[in-house]
């Protein structure tokens, strides 16, 4: 076998951009690429290892023998090693054997830029070349409209390994998901799907949040072309795809990024900034420019090569604060004496700038649990530049309220209304995510009090409140039909529950709420501004009733919402309304179709000149038990 041939893809590469942390398409040069040199086809390899004394490629094509295929270090002091190996093609398995300048330490590493990895527990990289022809032109051309902040944005969060399985506990393939999952999400009227991390990860119980293959879709469900086929299938059904992205930390597995070339190359060398005590993982050195280029290139890669429509950025709070999960003495203040991680903040601003400059029609969404200001505000105004932020306070307060027996709710109504005090300080997404149904927290429906009927009435009311509250929406798999067991990443959802009417009713309710949210402009056109919301009455604690108005750009789109948060029906309940006219009930979470009582309908209601709730006009209504009704002027 011929040894490595000197060859470079870096002839038109701006090394200074890389060193400055401003090169955002590193994947075009680094990693393994099929090329033809002097009429011979093979694979070109390039890796960044500035502390290396030598780097060789080992693999199935040279019996994993060190030294058979050495790479050459570039002359430009960039720390890049490269070379061409003839007759090595797609499917070849390889790693880098690196001898460090530090004490001759040797490491054996997977390729940080590999486009494909072996199926865990195997850990090598696989030579891969893209061979997929996209068919989503229509979606991509219309994406700006579908992804805009004034468009409906309801997200179904999915963990592919446990959404559905076959033959007991085998994974479906990407192609099978493109049939089953895509059709299900479309039928449920969700606008987007969010996939929990699909970049290659070695350890199943991490749920994908400990990545080793940042540029490779996990091989658990097939190959990279299969994943593109899945994204394409979503787009053809008009569904956007959000990918969970984890720039906050990475595992210390031997084949991963840690101690890559015998030095702290990717992780921060100071353990107070480079080690995560909660997750026993390593933290990127956000102040190192080449690392910033690596991470931002990775964000761009999934938007560019896989047509992703958004990135949900995991654990942003852990990046923002130097004292996150640390005791006194375990962290060092920044140069101004504060607890903010200035390097991480600058990284996030640069990442969001690069994403929106290159892909103005996508969204970045921060999972951020603190009161750090202006997370989803433009960078030029002093914000971090995210498109949206998870509203963790709403989630916590709302679930805590709904867990209370209705008889006690009158003492806690402020818990449910408090979110409107700060609802417009950020572009908030309301999440009922996987984190709320694990570790003894119970399934969403099982958090609800009462007998089975009341539990499911409460569940439908919870979703109805969520969909009519300002902000975008996210529901984790199984929540939509009242999965009764806590989420288990190793098991399929309990789809057999849909044989029971209460579960089928919950599913139908969510399907109709998605339809209502999409159809009615009042629910999305002004979902991030105070102009789109107005209280009618949040003070009826004794009856535990809330009433409010949602508004679109046109007055004719106005919708009135009334929530009865107890199991006691309220007949002849009077509510103040904006004007006279005839109102029609357009949604009722208590209908028989949803397994409700179906006994308390409001057909056409005429507003009269009776002053109520400080308004000149009002209506009398029948409020069903544990239910929401929505009314619209005819």
Mapped onto helix, strand or coil, the DSSP state of residue 263 is: coil
State pLDDT tens for residues 556-601: 999 999 999 999 999 999 999 999 999 999 999 999 999 999 999 9
State pLDDT tens for residues 511-522: 999 999 999 999
367 flagged as catalytic: yes
CA distance linking residue 346 with residue 122, whole number of Å:
36
**Cα-based distances in Å from 138 to 1, 2, 142, 145, 265:** 47, 47, 6, 12, 42
**Cα-based distances in Å from 619 to 293, 522, 583:** 60, 20, 9
Residues paired with 170 in a beta bridge: 166
CA distance linking residue 358 with residue 61, whole number of Å:
38
CATH architecture of the domain covering 530-633: Sandwich (2.60)
Tokens of 344: 């991480």
Output the pLDDT for position 464.
98
Tokens of 227: 């994943």
CA distance linking residue 140 with residue 101, whole number of Å:
47
Tokens of 146: 């579908």
The stretch 218-224 carries a mean pLDDT of 97
Of the candidates 118, 314, 343, 520, the residue annotated as catalytic is 314
Domain spans in the chain, listed from the N-terminal domain onward:
530-633
Residue 405: CB atoms within 10 Å: 10
Output the pLDDT for position 560.
98
pLDDT at 2 over 80: no
Output the pLDDT for position 1.
43
Residue 510: CB atoms within 10 Å: 27
Long-range contacts made by residues 367-375, C-beta under 8 angstroms, separation at least 24? Answer: 367/312, 367/313, 367/314, 367/315, 367/316, 367/317, 367/431, 368/316, 368/317, 368/320, 368/392, 369/317, 370/317, 370/320, 370/321, 372/317, 372/320, 373/425, 374/426, 375/316, 375/426
pLDDT at 167 over 90: no
Tokens of 71: 């790479």
Give 220's pLDDT tier (boundaries 50, 70, 90).
very high
State pLDDT tens for residues 376-428: 999 999 999 999 999 999 999 999 999 999 999 999 999 999 999 999 999 99
Closest CA to 136 of 240, 244, 223, 27: 240
CA distance linking residue 436 with residue 442, whole number of Å:
8
Q: Is 174 left (phi over 0), alpha (psi -120 to 50) or beta?
A: alpha
Residue 39: CB atoms within 10 Å: 5
Output the pLDDT for position 168.
79
**What's the whole-number average pLDDT of the chain?**
96
Cβ(46)–Cβ(29) under 8 Å?
Answer: yes
The stretch 60-79 carries a mean pLDDT of 94
Of the candidates 309, 367, 512, 520, the residue annotated as catalytic is 367
Question: Does residue 523 have a cis peptide bond before it, meaning omega lies within 30 degrees of 0?
Answer: no
**Cα-based distances in Å from 527 to 45, 186, 246, 413, 472:** 48, 23, 27, 22, 7
Closest CA to 534 of 519, 547, 521: 547
């Amino acid at each position: 076998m011929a040894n490595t041939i000197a060859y470079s893809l870096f002839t038109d590469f701006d090394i200074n951009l890389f060193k400055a942390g401003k090169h955002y398409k590193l994947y075009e040069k680094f990693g393994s690429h099929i090329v033809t040199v002097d009429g011979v086809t093979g694979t070109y390899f390039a890796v960044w290892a500035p502390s290396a004394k030598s780097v060789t490629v080992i693999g199935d094509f040279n019996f994993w023998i060190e030294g058979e295929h050495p790479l050459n270090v570039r002359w430009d002091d960039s720390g890049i090693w490269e070379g061409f190996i003839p007759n090595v093609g797609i499917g070849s398995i390889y790693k880098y054997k690196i001898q460090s300048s530090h004490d001759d330490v040797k490491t054996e590493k997977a390729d940080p830029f590999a486009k494909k990895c072996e199926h865990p527990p195997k850990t090598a990289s696989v030579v891969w070349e893209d061979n997929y022809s996209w068919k989503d032109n229509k979606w991509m051309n219309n994406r700006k409209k579908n992804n805009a902040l004034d468009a409906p944005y309801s997200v179904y969060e999915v963990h592919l390994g446990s959404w559905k399985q076959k033959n007991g506990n085998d994974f479906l393939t990407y192609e099978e998901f493109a049939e089953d999952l895509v059709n299900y999400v479309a039928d449920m009227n969700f606008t987007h799907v969010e996939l929990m991390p699909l970049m290659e990860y070695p350890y199943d119980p991490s749920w994908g949040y400990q990545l080793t293959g940042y540029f490779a879709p996990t091989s658990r469900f097939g190959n990279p072309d299969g994943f593109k086929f899945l994204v394409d299938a979503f787009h053809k059904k008009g569904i956007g795809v959000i990918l969970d992205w984890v720039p906050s930390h990475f595992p210390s597995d031997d084949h991963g990024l840690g101690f890559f070339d015998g030095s702290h190359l990717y992780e921060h060398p100071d353990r107070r900034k480079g080690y995560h005590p909660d997750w026993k993982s390593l933290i990127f050195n956000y102040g190192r420019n080449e690392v910033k280029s690596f991470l931002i290139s990775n964000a761009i890669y999934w938007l560019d090569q896989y047509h992703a429509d958004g990135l949900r950025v995991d654990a942003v709070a852990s990046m923002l604060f130097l004292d996150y999960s640390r005791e006194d003495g375990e962290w060092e203040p920044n140069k101004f004496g504060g607890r903010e991680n200035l390097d991480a903040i600058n990284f996030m601003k640069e990442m969001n700038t690069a994403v929106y400059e290159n892909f103005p029609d996508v969204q970045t969404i921060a999972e951020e649990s603190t009161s750090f200001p202006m997370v989803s505000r433009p960078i030029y105004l002093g914000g971090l530049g995210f498109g949206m932020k998870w509203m963790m306070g709403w989630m916590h307060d709302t679930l805590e309220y709904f867990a209370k027996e209705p008889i006690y709710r009158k003492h806690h109504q402020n818990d449910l209304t408090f979110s409107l005090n700060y609802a417009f300080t950020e572009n908030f997404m309301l999440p009922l995510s996987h984190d709320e149904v694990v570790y003894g927290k119970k399934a969403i429906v099982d958090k609800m009090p009462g007998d089975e009927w009341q539990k499911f009435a409460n569940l439908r009311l919870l979703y109805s409140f969520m969909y009519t509250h300002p902000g975008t929406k996210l529901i984790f798999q199984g929540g939509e039909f009242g999965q009764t067991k806590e989420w288990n990443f190793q098991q399929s959802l309990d789809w057999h529950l849909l044989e029971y009417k209460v579960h089928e009713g919950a599913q139908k309710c969510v399907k109709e709420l998605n339809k209502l949210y999409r159809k009615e402009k009042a629910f999305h056109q002004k979902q991030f501004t105070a102009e789109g919301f107005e209280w009618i009455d949040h003070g009826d604690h004794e009856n535990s009733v809330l009433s409010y108005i949602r508004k679109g750009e046109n007055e004719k789109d106005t919708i009135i919402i009334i929530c009865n948060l107890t199991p006691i029906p309220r007949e002849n309940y009077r509510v103040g309304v904006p004007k006279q006219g005839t109102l029609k009930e357009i949604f009722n979470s208590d209908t028989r179709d949803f397994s409700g009582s179906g006994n308390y309908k409001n057909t056409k209601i005429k507003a009269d000149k009776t002053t109520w709730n400080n308004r000149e006009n009002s209506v009398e209504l029948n409020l069903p038990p544990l239910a929401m009704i929505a009314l619209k002027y005819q």
